[in-house]
Amino acid sequence: MVSLVSVISVALCLILAVHADSGMTTRYWDCCKPSCAWPDKARVSSPVATCNKNDLWPANPDPNESSACGGGTAYTCSNNGPWAVNDNLAYGFAAAKLAGKSETNWCCACYELTFTSTEIAGKKMIVQVTNTGGDLGENHFDLAMPGSGVGWYQDGCASQFPGTWMGNQYGGYNSRNDCYNLPAGMFRDGCFFRFDWFRNAQNPNVEFHEVSCPQAMIDRTKCGRW
């Protein structure tokens, strides 16, 4: 005879079971103001924080300041690059497009990605979505990594780093040594991450599900969901 406790335990396990969706990843860094930095995108504590050309938070930030990719002065902050927590877990940020959802759902939400292909299969990365990929397919995360290609928008990094070689438009730098083109600090460290923890993996597939955002990530973007 099955006890009531057993039935309840099984039911709780089913309720708590995490449904994972399948998706894909690419990488980019275009220096532009992230889409989720604009006001009224979602129910969040504040829009994603942006930085000025010198990678500093403005004393009086204006969420309506135009993007550097549109002639404005708002750039992606260098602290929006990825970092390793340990050999098998990393934190970072991404542009995304998710099936059946919109910015209202994904702006500043966090997702745990489990890589299922390439040399980093089995590793996990928690990303906070700070941007929307207009050119992405469904269930696609474009991971923000300095030196990983400016993609569509070439003006932002050109104005922030005049005369600096940013690598190929799609794909960015070819080697770890290329990262020395970027300023020392978080820009360069985020670039090194790609060749170290990430092993320069080329567009690995993932399984993903939504998780609560680690406070360390909210501290960087100033954006948490209600």
Query: Which residues, other chains included, contact 100 with Cβ-Cβ below 8 Å and sequence gap of 6+?
Result: none
How wide is the angle at C-alpha 84 spanned by C-alphas 61 and 121, nearest 5°?
125
Per-residue tokens: 46: 């504040």
Q: Report yes or no: 111 and 213 within 8 Å, Cβ to Cβ.
A: no
Continuous H helices in the chain: 4-16, 103-106, 155-160, 186-195, 215-221
Catalytic residues: 30
β-strand pairing of 21-28 with 140-144: parallel
Specify the DSSP class assigned to residue 17: P
**To which residue do tokens 């969420």 refer?**
63
